[in-house]
Amino acid sequence: MQNSSLIRRSTLLLLAAAAVSLSAPTSRVLAHEGHDHKHDSSATEAHGSVEEAWKSAKDSLKGIETAAAAKEHEPIHNEQEKLAAALKQIQESHGAQGADKTRLEGAIKNAITASEKVHTAADAKDFAKVDSSLKTLVATMGILEKQLNPAAK
């Protein structure tokens, strides 16, 4: 009798573990399917200040726009990673507090999400979706710029 309850409990634990692993987010894995993941060191390097990180983010956005116009997906992949790294650096380094901090972090999160949508569309070589997602990214970057203090612009 004890043996069967032990087996049931073990089975339930295994099923629970399987359910948790299946529910884990896979969007980043799917977005990068078929890519070589030797990340460019410049994609993850820390920027010295919020201003430098913002400049890097804007440069990456220009790179994404150029690659999208040329319908080249690999540069979009690389520039999006640099953009996300710069935005995360801004998030970690900014000095905003209270409601300003909440708005800034929300704008950063939205910009990263928008950039990931551009990246995913580029990986799928769906350049119509790249173009529409890029419009959203440009708009979210504009909102983010308004949230940053004047010295970071």
> Cβ(134)–Cβ(126) under 8 Å?
no
Q: Residue 4 has what pLDDT?
A: 65
Contacts of 53 (CB under 8 A, 6+ apart): 47, 86, 87, 89, 90, 93
Can you list the residues of the chain whose pLDDT is less than 70? 1-47, 149-153
Q: Residue 32 has what pLDDT?
A: 47
Q: Residue 49 has what pLDDT?
A: 87
Q: Which of 150, 121, 146 is nearest to 134 (CA)?
A: 121
- Phi first, then psi: give them for residue 44, nearest 5 degrees: -115, 5
CATH of domain 40-152: 1.20.120.290
